[in-house]
Amino acid sequence: MFVGRKQELATLERLYRSDAFQMPVVYGRRRAGKTSLIAEFVKGKPVIFFSARESTAKENLVALSQAIADLRLDGTSVASDTAAPVFASFEEAFTHVFTLAQQQRIVLVIDEFPYLAQSDRSVSSVLQHLIDHHKENSRLFLILCGSSMSFMEHQVLGYKSPLYGRRTAQIKVQPFDIMQASLLLRGSSSEDIVTWYGIAGGIPLYLEQFDAALSLAENLATNVLQLDCFLFGEPDSFLQQEVREPARYNAVIRAIANGEGRLTDIADAAGIERTAAAGYLKGLEELGIVRLEKPVVDANRKKTRYVLNDNLFRFWYRFVPRYLTPIQAGRAEEVAHLIAADHLSTFTGPVFEEVCRQWLVAFSGHGEIPLVLDVGRWWGTDNARREQAEIDIVALCDDDSMICGECKWQAKQTDTEVLRTLQHRASLIGSADDQRLFLFSKSGFTDACHAEAASCGCRLVTLADMGLGQ
């Protein structure tokens, strides 16, 4: 089922309607939904869909020739049992497509373009030459798509690339936020949606592994912890395909999953020299697995810390190494029930914080919520109470106000004590006159909390209020 990606589809459709040569570049991490996005866009359009292979130039030329032969100008592409004549070169093949597109709008999709460019290093230069020669008289709609973000950003979009300056749009396909994810999980409870999002993250293919007919514990056992299931092997498979030294990246991720956030501490825990660890962390940032976090206000270098940005990696590295022996012994169901009963609520707490931040951004600029310009967390020293303090949500808004929020993922209703703590911590970073307070709660609020929130202007938001899956 295709959901979301409205903005990306709108961009592609706008370019298509221009009827002039276009070359949008679509990229993003593996499994993010790039191919599904393009497949949705090309429905009903004359299209040559060529998926490059991690193979030789000859094999890719054969596949491209077949894809061109399958084109039907009535808007369909029908595979034939008869092998198509093979073009003499990529230049000849692409020239043929540019020529065809002089008479009719044609979409040429080159999926996994990095594989093609690596199989024949002249391809980018060939495309550059043909684009420059034909762009004024061709109606070709050329889509270059790739999962290797480093390659796409440096060797397609980068200044030193032969294709630099030829792209007419660039679309970085990001993982789903909670609102988009909830559409894939429509029909499930809001609690299950948040929890599964915390386990699988925003990758559509990961989210689709959820079986609404099963309990969370059963989903964990069947779709995450079974040795032969898709999600169990995905983190390792991802690293094997994306990095050259997966064992060292593994060690860095494990260190962060175990609570280390500073570069020095991560390097020590992983047993890797500090300079090398910095390189691995940069690579993981580019892949979207790790992010460098800093307080939204009063940030300085000493307060920055690395956190896992991918929920599946965060879940996997938190639990699988710990329970690997019983999982390998065929006790996945037992382990899943243990995690669900004893650990899942605590694990989901930080996920709920991120969900609330995403919800706040999505609904800002409407009604009571001013447009959010920046959002994150804050942490620092509470000198009055001689303790370290954190605020789950701090958002800077375009009306110069600040939003401070607290998020509670617990079975009991949230009481006044939480509100008063939020008021105190908010006072550490700004004036009450310029602040808006928000409390988010999975289980609602006590009557006393409702009364006190009304008196101080704090907005109370329940999980049900967030409208997930609707």
Residues 30 and 63 in one domain: yes
The distance of Cα 292 from the centroid of its chain, to the nearest Å, equals 15
Judged by average pLDDT, the poorest of 147-151, 288-292, 298-302, 408-412 is 298-302
Q: What's the mean pLDDT in 56-85?
A: 81
pLDDT in tens, 371-391: 999 999 999 989 889 899 999
Helix, strand, or coil here: 389? strand
Two structure tokens written together for 190: 């809001």
Two structure tokens written together for 85: 């004549």
Cβ neighbours of residue 222 under 8 Å, at least 6 residues apart?
211, 214, 229
pLDDT at 77 over 60: no
Residues 30 and 117 in one domain: yes
Q: Please give the share of the chain, as a percent, with pLDDT higher than 70.
A: 97
- Bridge pairing between strands 402-408 and 435-441: parallel
The distance of Cα 70 from the centroid of its chain, to the nearest Å, equals 33
The CATH number of residue 294's host domain is 1.10.10.10
pTM of the model: 0.90
pLDDT in tens, 319-343: 999 999 999 999 999 999 999 999 9
pLDDT at 76 over 60: no
Query: For residues 68 and 415, what is the distance between their CA atoms, to the nearest angstrom?
Result: 65
Range of the domain at 92: 6-172
What pLDDT, on a 0 to 100 scale, did the predictor assign at position 4?
A: 85
Q: What's the mean pLDDT in 401-418?
A: 96
pLDDT at 277 over 60: yes
Residues 329 and 371 in one domain: no
What pLDDT, on a 0 to 100 scale, did the predictor assign at position 301?
A: 61
The CATH number of residue 36's host domain is 3.40.50.300
User: 397-423: b or e for each residue (b if 16 or more CB lie within 10 Å)?
Assistant: beeeebbbbbbbbeeebbbbebbeebb
Q: How many domains does the chain have?
A: 3
28 found inside a domain: yes
What pLDDT, on a 0 to 100 scale, did the predictor assign at position 242?
A: 87
Closest CA to 89 of 114, 68, 109, 61: 61
Residue 424 — φ and ψ, nearest 5°?
Answer: -65, -45
195 found inside a domain: no
Helix, strand, or coil here: 340? helix
Residues 335 and 367 in one domain: no
pLDDT at 79 over 60: no
What pLDDT, on a 0 to 100 scale, did the predictor assign at position 430?
A: 86
